[in-house]
Amino acid sequence: MSTYTIETATSRANPTPAPMRRLTVPKLQARKGGEPIVALTAYTTRMAQLLDPHCDLLLVGDSLGQVIYGLSSTIPVSLDMMCAHGAAVVRGSWHAVVAIDMPFGSYEASPAQAFESAARVMKETGAAAVKLEGGEAMAETVSFLTRRGIPVIGHVGLTPQAVNMLGGYGARGSDPKESAKILADAKAVDAAGCFAMVLEGMVEDLAIDVTRAVSCPTIGIGASAQCDGQILVAEDMLGLFERTPRFVKRYDDLAGRIGATASAYAADVRARTFPGEDQTYQRKK
């Protein structure tokens, strides 16, 4: 059952600003070679509300496995998780295109399996698009979905769901054979109809070659500033984790600030200075 239309305007969870017109998939697709696409991940309503005014694309990434659930990879992430977080992000956004990652095991077996999973994601979340990892092997699936009304974002290079085949999360494409394979993968999903493509963790010259070779916009993460847009995991960019990949620029130190704030709260509780007068109810005289 769909939950994304529930009206929560009276709740503190939904401080809705003046309604904005949501960007569309064709408008994002038309940004090839133009104004860079600003994208971040989001997994919760509140984070979506805060990021949405600044972003063109919010991705409910399966990185939520590590970021939200403390899993060691994206492999255990389920469709249930993606649907629940996807609906939360759609509820918290008015402007950006919201796309949802297809989790490992929900799409690789066949185009029909992918359609069934993607249709569930679209119905239950209200998102406009899905993203799936893979190149030539996924081209038929990308074409199957797009011809049936499901916009798809491709994802090539470092594909974290394939970590067991890749042997780790290092940058891809240093050897010419692997570089040629990634270029062929990108061309295949582009020709199959994806409207945008994530280029993750690859040597910069390959990211530039792919960006020139494909007709859809490329969105880089650990790729190149010459991609048609950039994406980061929001919590990485905000400095919520001490350890982040080399390609992450930490724009804040949320981990440090949250620690300091929790410490101030703990000190107040121990000193019985919280709650104070402003935070307590007195009988009306």
Catalytic residues: 200
Please report, for residues 11, 72, 163, 172, 213, the alpha-carbon distance to residue 53 in angstroms, rounded to integers and kept in the order given: 20, 31, 33, 33, 31
In SS3 terms, 35-69 reads as CCEEEEECCCHHHHHHHHHHCCEEEECCCHHHHCC
Residue 217 beta carbon to ligand KIV: minimum distance, rounded to whole angstroms: 14
The answer to the question of residue 81 lying near ligand KIV (CB under 6 A) is no
Site for ligand KIV in 204-223 (CB under 6 A): 221
Cβ contact 77:71 at 8 Å: yes
Largest distance between two CA atoms of the chain: 81
Burial annotation 4-19 (CB, 10 A radius, 16+ → b, else e)? beeeeeeeeeeeeeee
The answer to the question of residue 231 lying near ligand KIV (CB under 6 A) is yes
Which residues on adjacent β-strands are paired with residue 49?
A: none
The answer to the question of residue 101 lying near ligand KIV (CB under 6 A) is yes
Q: How many residues bind ligand KIV (CB under 6 A)?
A: 11
CA–CA separation, 53 and 145 (whole Å): 29
The answer to the question of residue 161 lying near ligand KIV (CB under 6 A) is no
Residue 219 beta carbon to ligand KIV: minimum distance, rounded to whole angstroms: 7
The answer to the question of residue 61 lying near ligand KIV (CB under 6 A) is yes
The answer to the question of residue 63 lying near ligand KIV (CB under 6 A) is yes
Only one of the segments 57-65, 144-152, 166-174, 255-263 lies at the binding site for ligand KIV (rule: CB under 6 A); that segment is 57-65
Residue 63 beta carbon to ligand KIV: minimum distance, rounded to whole angstroms: 3
> By the criterion CB under 6 A, which residues form the site for ligand KIV?
41, 59, 61-63, 101, 198, 200, 221, 231, 233
